[in-house]
Amino acid sequence: MEWLREFTGTPQTYHLLVAFLIACVFYFLSHAVKAVIRFVGKRISQRTKTELDDKILEVVLGSVKALMSVIGLQIAVREIRKGLTGADVTADQVLDYAGSILYVILVYLVIRVVIGVVRASIEWYLDDIAKDPNDTLKLTLRPITKSVVTLVAMIVGLVIVLDHFGVNIGSLLLSLGVGSLAVALAAQDTLANMIAGFVILVDRPFRVGDRVVLESGDTGDVYEIGLRSTKVLNFDQNLVLVPNATLIKGRIINLAYPHNQMRAKVVVGVAYGSDPAKVRNILIGLADKHPDILKDPAPEVHFTAMADSAIEFTLVARAADFTKRYSAENLVREQAYLAFEKEGIEIPFPQRVVHMKSSS
Residue 131, classed as helix, strand or coil, is coil
Average pLDDT over residues 271-278: 90
- Higher per-residue pLDDT: 96 or 264: 264
Average pLDDT over residues 86-102: 78
DSSP string, 228-279: SEEEEEETTS-EEEEEHHHHHHS--EETTSS-S-EEEEEEEEE-TT--HHHH
User: CA 179, CA 191: separation in Å to the nearest integer?
Assistant: 15
The pLDDT score that the predictor gives to residue 135 is 55
Q: Residue 326: pLDDT band by 50, 70, 90 thresholds?
A: confident
Whether omega before 297 lies within 30 degrees of 0, making that bond cis, reads yes
- Higher per-residue pLDDT: 262 or 130: 262
Q: Residue 5: pLDDT band by 50, 70, 90 thresholds?
A: low
Average pLDDT over residues 169-190: 64
Q: Residue 301: pLDDT band by 50, 70, 90 thresholds?
A: very high
- Higher per-residue pLDDT: 267 or 359: 267
Over the stretch 6-48, which tens digit does the pLDDT of each residue have?
A: 555 566 676 777 788 888 888 888 888 888 888 888 888 777 7
The pLDDT score that the predictor gives to residue 302 is 93
Q: Burial of 287 by CB count in 10 Å (0-12 exposed, 13-18 middle, 19+ buried)?
A: buried
Instruction: Give yes or no for a contact between 332 and 286, defined as CB atoms under 8 angstroms apart.
Output: yes
Average pLDDT over residues 140-146: 69
Instruction: Flag whether the pTM goes above 0.75.
Output: no
Residue 171 has pLDDT above 70, yes or no: no
Over the stretch 241-259, which tens digit does the pLDDT of each residue have?
A: 888 888 888 888 888 888 8
Beta-strand (E) ranges in the chain? 211-213, 219-225, 229-234, 239-243, 253-254, 262-270, 300-306, 311-319
* Backbone dihedral angles phi then psi of residue 122, each to the nearest 5 degrees: -65, -45
Q: Residue 313: pLDDT band by 50, 70, 90 thresholds?
A: very high
Mention every residue, 6+ apart, whose C-beta is less than 8 A from residue 262. Answer: 255, 318, 319, 321, 322, 325
Mean pLDDT for the chain overall: 81
Over the stretch 101-126, which tens digit does the pLDDT of each residue have?
A: 888 888 888 888 888 888 888 777 77
Residue 158 has pLDDT above 70, yes or no: yes
Q: Residue 182: pLDDT band by 50, 70, 90 thresholds?
A: low
Q: Burial of 281 by CB count in 10 Å (0-12 exposed, 13-18 middle, 19+ buried)?
A: middle
